Amino acid sequence: MESDFENWISWNMKSYQKKSIMEKKYRNVSAIGQGLDLKLRQAESKKISLTVSQNGAADFKSITEAINSIPPYNTRRVILLIAPGVYREKIVIPKTLPFITFLGDSRDRPTITGNDTASVAGNDGALLRTFNSATVAVNASYFVAINIKFENTAYVPIGSEVDQAVALRISGTKAAFYNCSFYGVQDTLYDHKGLHYFKNCFIQGSVDFIFGYGRSLYEVIFPFIFLPSRVQMCIFDYEVN
């Protein structure tokens, strides 16, 4: 899976380089993607790794602690090597922390789990709503996850208008997911916005279990699991690009 990650980086760079050349040749303007391409290239050239394990034999005991150790406006690829286990955490990666990778063991993938729903009240007393119900929320760009299970275990009556329970929300751009699983009932995967890539992933859910405004490529993702409902039809609310 690490080779897939490297291939994605290489493809991304070549794509922007080609776009830059074409724009300069035919439109005589500066390349729109040149700045991003340079940032990505620089980030990959100085990547570092941090270890996470609940047994204490690592740099950090939780994923949240590892993320909090990364300085704002990070400019290098930071790979979190996450040991097998069940991590009961609500994770939010802010926009100021791009280039983060979650890398798990392909033989025993770590699970990141939570049980928030849209109708749960947050710390400020306001309802979380769908947007903030996610177990893992990624607001930064260039996020990568390899061999990770994302889940929301909340009980949600199928068809409920107030109990959406998101396993993962991706709101940055240019994220990639390889050999990952997403488990939930309603609104499992919130592909909020941006351009993303999903390969060899498993997604389980019922109503709107993939939704959002993202323009993502889903390649060899199977099976989709529709949880049965006697009261409402299952809806695939997503346009695959």
What pLDDT digit, counting tens, does each position of 152-175 carry?
Answer: 988 766 555 557 888 999 999 999
- Which residues are catalytic, by number? 208
Tell me 140's DSSP state: S
> How many Cβ atoms from other residues are within 10 Å of residue 75's Cβ?
11
Q: Answer whether residue 31 shows pLDDT above 60.
A: no
Q: What is the pLDDT of residues 39-87, one digit of tens each?
A: 888 899 999 999 999 998 999 999 999 999 999 999 999 999 999 999 9
C-alpha distance from residue 160 to each of 57, 152, 184 (Å): 42, 15, 14
CATH superfamily of this structure's domain 37-219: Single-stranded right-handed beta-helix, Pectin lyase-like (2.160.20.10)
Mean pLDDT score, 23-45: 60
Tell me 185's DSSP state: S
Q: Scanning the structure block, which residue is given the tokens 């690009």?
A: 241
